[in-house]
Chain A
Amino acid sequence: RKEVEQDPGPFNVPEGATVAFNCTYSNSASQSFFWYRQDCRKEPKLLMSVYSSGNEDGRFTAQLNRASQYISLLIRDSKLSDSATYLCVVRGTYKYIFGTGTRLKVLA
């Protein structure tokens, strides 16, 4: 079993739709959690950290469920510019573990 698992997609959604991504992790000792977005041929950019209480940044909401060992990302009112790969990242003791990424394509 991979340490961090994501549905690779692609998710093709119309503009204005709400889309949710899930990510599961295997190490219960994992300490911190992040979502990154990566555009084609660019570096990953931090989208948001994921806190135990859940957190929201504009149209983006992240949730953490430690008991079930998963994190989620909800994007509301999708824009064309949201098209990217979304990477779930889990930090262990010394390093960051990346999921395989979920591709999102928002269609006009």
Chain B
Amino acid sequence: DTEVTQTPKHLVMGMTNKKSLKCEQHMGHRAMYWYKQKAKKPPELMFVYSYEKLSINESVPSRFSPECPNSSLLNLHLHALQPEDSALYLCASSQAGTSYNEQFFGPGTRLTVL
């Protein structure tokens, strides 16, 4: 089962709202990722969790707050976002470590900030 699930599929929020994006995988992967993707651009890495610990933060603004409650779940908490944060947010997972590890993506959450 090479499936990563994400909820919600679509989210519209105001700049003062607090919301969360959720991601789940049951492939036994120990590395999980959040990406942001704008139209006609490649995915842009935001955060990497390895063995449930944050290992990479690509200088993401603090209005985005990741959380990894366990090895299967990854959340992204959103607060006081700006309209330019509107994008497709993709979660991905892979085996941890440095060998030939394929990365699998969820279907994404399409976020609109008003």
A-side residues, CB < 8 A to B, are 31-32, 34, 41-46, 49, 87, 89, 91, 93-96, 98-101
Which chain B residues in 37-51 approach chain A with CB under 8 Å? 41-43, 45, 48, 50
Q: Is B82 an interface residue (CB 8 A)?
A: no
The residue of chain B having its C-beta at the shortest distance from the C-beta of A99 within the complex is B42
- Stretch in B61-69, B73-81, B96-104 with 4+ CB within 8 Å of A: B96-104
B-side residues, CB < 8 A to A, are 33, 41-43, 45, 48, 50, 55-56, 88, 90, 98-108, 110
Q: Do B103 and A96 touch (CB < 8 A)?
A: yes
Most chain-A CB neighbours within 10 Å: which of B42, B48, B102? B42
Could you tell me the distance between the alpha carbons of A46 and B3 in the complex, rounded to whole angstroms? 12
Q: Do A42 and B107 touch (CB < 8 A)?
A: yes
The residue of chain A having its C-beta at the shortest distance from the C-beta of B94 within the complex is A96
B residues within 8 A CB of A101? 42
Q: Do A43 and B101 touch (CB < 8 A)?
A: no
The residue of chain B having its C-beta at the shortest distance from the C-beta of A89 within the complex is B103
Q: Do A100 and B100 touch (CB < 8 A)?
A: no
Instruction: Say yes or no: A100-B41 contact (C-beta < 8 A), given A32-B100, A46-B104.
Output: yes
Could you tell me the distance between the alpha carbons of A46 and B103 in the complex, rounded to whole angstroms? 8
The residue of chain A having its C-beta at the shortest distance from the C-beta of B39 within the complex is A41
Q: Do A91 and B101 touch (CB < 8 A)?
A: yes
User: Which residue from A31, A46, A87, A100 sits with its C-beta under 8 Å from B102?
Assistant: A46
User: Which residue from A34, A43, A91 sits with its C-beta under 8 Å from B107?
Assistant: A43
